[in-house]
Chain A
Amino acid sequence: DTAVSQTPKYLVTQMGNDKSIKCEQNLGHDTMYWYKQDSKKFLKIMFSYNNKELIINETVPNRFSPKSPDKAHLNLHINSLELGDSAVYFCASTSSESSSYNEQFFGPGTRLTVL
């Protein structure tokens, strides 16, 4: 009963291709995120969606386009993949209801390798 799931777990592709990563959460959360973890292991936020609306869009190239068909899903589509896109991408979710914690739950990650 995985709370936050991502597919695929591994993705190896050629430069210039277009690919998608899917994320689903069954926690009833209303906010979902995409993070990129680079080779130095820093996790950096890319996008945040609240109730299917884009809330945060950090300085991410417009080749990256998130899509949220419903509150439980946040997919990431990447056009014209570049070598520098190689990283591990993590999806996370949380509830934005009033709370001091709003703990984020992370998916297992998708390791993207661009050749």
Chain B
Amino acid sequence: KNQVEQSPQSLIILEGKNCTLQCNYTVSPFSNLRWYKQDTGRGPVSLTIMTFSENTKSNGRYTATLDADTKQSSLHITASQLSDSASYICVVSAELRNAGNMLTFGGGTRLMVKP
């Protein structure tokens, strides 16, 4: 059964601090791994997408890593800002014929950045 597990479930940090969110997955056949940011009351927005051959990818202050051997990923947020407060969802994609990608979602890490 395809599963994506994230930790921690929730995290509170002070503005300006760094943090790392974790994601473990068992999804087959693996196509890519994505990190989404979901603000309260909005749909998820993609931060990074990594394929099997990519170990790291950055998007501004967000850096994602992928270890396809251990099936783990992390999302590192540098110099956090109040606007980073959101849920961060790890999503692993299995490629399906003629149907785009089948996504398996983690439960998300709810991050709160305090001043």
What is the interface of chain A, defined by CB distance below 8 A to chain B?
4, 31, 40-45, 48, 50, 55-56, 90, 92, 94-96, 100-104, 106-109
Contact = CB atoms under 8 A, between A and B. Distances in A.
B41 interface: yes
Nearest to B44: A106
A17 B55 CA distance: 49
Contacts of B43: 4, 90, 92, 106-109
Interface of B: 31-32, 34, 41-46, 49, 51, 87, 89, 93, 95-96, 98-103, 105, 107-108, 110
Which 7 residue pairs across A and B have the least CB separation, nearest first? A106-B43, A55-B99, A43-B105, A31-B100, A94-B100, A96-B100, A102-B101
A101 B93 CA distance: 9
B31 A100 contact: yes
Given A92-B43, A109-B42, 20 more contacts: A31-B99, A41-B107, A42-B105, A42-B107, A43-B103, A43-B105, A50-B98, A50-B100, A55-B96, A56-B99, A90-B43, A94-B100, A94-B101, A96-B98, A101-B32, A101-B49, A102-B31, A106-B43, A106-B44, A108-B43
Nearest to A43: B105
Given A43-B89, A96-B98, A96-B99, A103 B44 contact: no
